[in-house]
Chains A and B, each alone.
Chain A
Amino acid sequence: MALVPQPLRNQPWGIILLLLVFTGFGVAILYSAAGGSFSPWAGLHAARFMVFLVMALVISYMPEELFKFAALPVFVIILLMLLGVEILGQVRGGSQRWLELGFMRIQPSELMKPAIVLMVARFYSALPPTMIRSWSAIWPLLIMMGLPAALVLLQPDLGTTITICVGAVTVAFLAGLPMRLFVGAGVVAAIAIPLAYLFLLEPYQQRRVATFLNPENDPLGSGYHITQSKIAIGSGGIDGKGFLNGSQSHLDYLPEGHTDFVFATMAEEWGLIGGIAVIIAYFLLLRWGWRLSIDAPSRFSKLLAGGLTMTIFLYAAINMMMVMGLAPVVGIPLPFLSHGGSSMLTVMICVGMLMAIDRQTRRQPQTSLSSGILA
Chain B
Amino acid sequence: MSILGKGKKKIISAASQNITFNRRSLLIGGAQAGVGLLLAGRMTYIAVAENERYEMLSESNRVNLTLVPPRRGWIIDRNGKPIASNRADFRVDIIPDRLVNPEQTLDELALLLNLPDDEIERIRRDLDQSRGFQPVQVASGLRWEDYAAVSVRLPDLPGVAPIQGFSRQYPAGAAVGHLVGYVGVANAEEYDAEPNPLLITPGFKIGKDGLEKKFEQELRGEPGARRVEVTARGRVVRDLEKRDDVPGDPVKLTIDAELQRYAARRLGEESGSVIVMDCKNGDILCLASMPSFDPNSFSDGIGFDEYAMLREDDHVPLRNKSLVGLYPPGSTIKPMNCLAFLEAGIDPEETVTCGGGTRVGNRFFRCHSNHGTVNMDKAIAQSCDTYFYKMAQRIGMDPVAAMMRRHGLGEEYDLPVQNQFYGTVPDPVWLERKYDRRWTGADTANSSIGQGYVLTNPLQLAVMTARMASGQKLEPNLLVKTRKTKHPAMQISPEHLETIRKGMLHVVHGAGTARRARLPVENVEVAGKTGTAQVVSLSRGDGRNVPWRFRDHGLFVCFAPYDNPRYACSVVIEHGGGSGAAYPVARDVLTFLFDRDRALNDIAALEAGWGGTIEERAATKFAAFQANKAAASAGNESDDSADDEAEAG
Interface residue ranges, A against B (CB under 8 Å) = 129-130, 132-135, 138, 170, 173-176, 178, 180, 228, 230-238, 247-248, 251-253, 267-268, 271-272, 275-276, 279, 282-283, 286-287, 290, 293-294, 299, 302-303, 306, 310, 313, 317, 320-321, 324, 326, 369-370, 373-374
Contact = CB atoms under 8 A, between A and B. Distances in A.
Contacts of A133: 2-4, 10, 12
B29 interface: yes
Contacts of A271: 47
Interface string B17-43: 111111011101100110110111011
B50 A234 contact: yes
Contacts of B35: 313, 317, 321
B17 to A, nearest CB: 5
Interface stretch (B227-235, B253-261, B497-505): B227-235
Contacts of A247: 58, 61-62, 229
A1 B114 CA distance: 79
A369 B229 CA distance: 60
> 4 smallest A-B Cβ distances: which pairs?
A234-B54, A235-B58, A252-B232, A176-B20
Given A173-B28, A275-B40, A317-B39, 10 more contacts: A174-B28, A233-B47, A234-B47, A248-B61, A252-B232, A253-B61, A283-B33, A299-B18, A369-B19, A370-B26
Contacts of B57: 231, 234-235
B619 to A, nearest CB: 47
B39 A251 contact: no
Chain B CB within 10 Å — which of A175, A234, A251 has the most? A234
A233 B25 contact: no
Contacts of A176: 12, 17, 20-21, 24
B46 interface: yes
B330 to A, nearest CB: 66
Contacts of A373: 26, 29
A370 B22 contact: yes
A174 B47 contact: no
Contacts of B229: 247, 251
Chain A CB within 10 Å — which of B25, B55, B229, B230 has the most? B25
Contact of A178 (B3, B39, B230): B3
Contact of A290 (B25, B54, B233): B25
A2 B57 CA distance: 59
A372 to B, nearest CB: 12
Secondary structure of the B contact surface, majority rule: helix
9 contacts: A134-B2, A175-B17, A176-B20, A252-B232, A252-B233, A293-B21, A317-B39, A321-B39, A374-B33
Contacts of A290: 25, 29
Contacts of B18: 299, 302, 369
Contacts of B564: none
A272 B44 contact: yes
Contacts of B38: 326
A321 B40 CA distance: 10
A173 B31 CA distance: 14
A228 B50 CA distance: 14
Contacts of B51: 234-235, 237-238
A133 B233 CA distance: 59
B43 A233 contact: yes
Contacts of A369: 18-19, 22
B237 interface: yes
A130 B12 contact: yes
A306 B42 CA distance: 26
B40 A276 contact: yes
A236 to B, nearest CB: 6
B48 A251 contact: no
Given A138-B3, A252-B232, A129 B39 contact: no
Nearest to A246: B58
B13 interface: yes
Interface in B451-491: none
Contacts of A132: 12, 17
Contact of B12 (A129, A303, A310): A129
A352 to B, nearest CB: 21
B1 interface: yes
Nearest to B20: A176
A8 B13 CA distance: 39
B405 interface: no
B53 interface: yes
Contacts of B12: 129-130, 132-133, 176
B14 interface: yes
B3 A135 contact: yes
A175 B19 CA distance: 10
A113 to B, nearest CB: 16
Interface in B210-264: 229-233, 237
Nearest to B38: A326
A150 B379 CA distance: 107
Contacts of A374: 26, 29, 33
Chain B CB within 10 Å — which of A176, A279, A282, A370 has the most? A176
B3 A267 contact: no
Interface string B185-201: 00000000000000000
Contact of B47 (A178, A275, A317): A275
B35 to A, nearest CB: 5
Given A320-B39, A370-B22, A251 B232 contact: yes
Given A170-B28, A253-B61, A279 B40 contact: yes
A279 B33 CA distance: 10
B43 A272 contact: yes
Interface string B577-595: 0000000000000000000
B32 to A, nearest CB: 5
A82 to B, nearest CB: 27
B43 A324 contact: yes
Contacts of A237: 47-48, 51, 55
A253 B48 CA distance: 21
B3 A286 contact: no
A231 B58 contact: yes
Chain B CB within 10 Å — which of A231, A235, A302, A374 has the most? A235
Contacts of A180: 4
A310 B27 CA distance: 12
Contacts of B44: 272
A234 B62 contact: no
B36 A234 contact: no
A182 to B, nearest CB: 10
A180 B10 CA distance: 14
Contacts of A287: 29
A231 B50 CA distance: 9
A228 B229 CA distance: 17
B5 to A, nearest CB: 9
A310 B54 contact: no
Nearest to A127: B17
Contacts of B26: 370, 373-374
A369 B59 CA distance: 54
Interface string B546-581: 000000000000000000000000000000000000
A294 B42 contact: no
B138 to A, nearest CB: 25
Contacts of A317: 32, 35-36, 39
A310 B28 contact: yes
Given A129-B14, A233-B47, A134 B40 contact: no
A134 B3 contact: yes
Interface string B341-353: 0000000000000
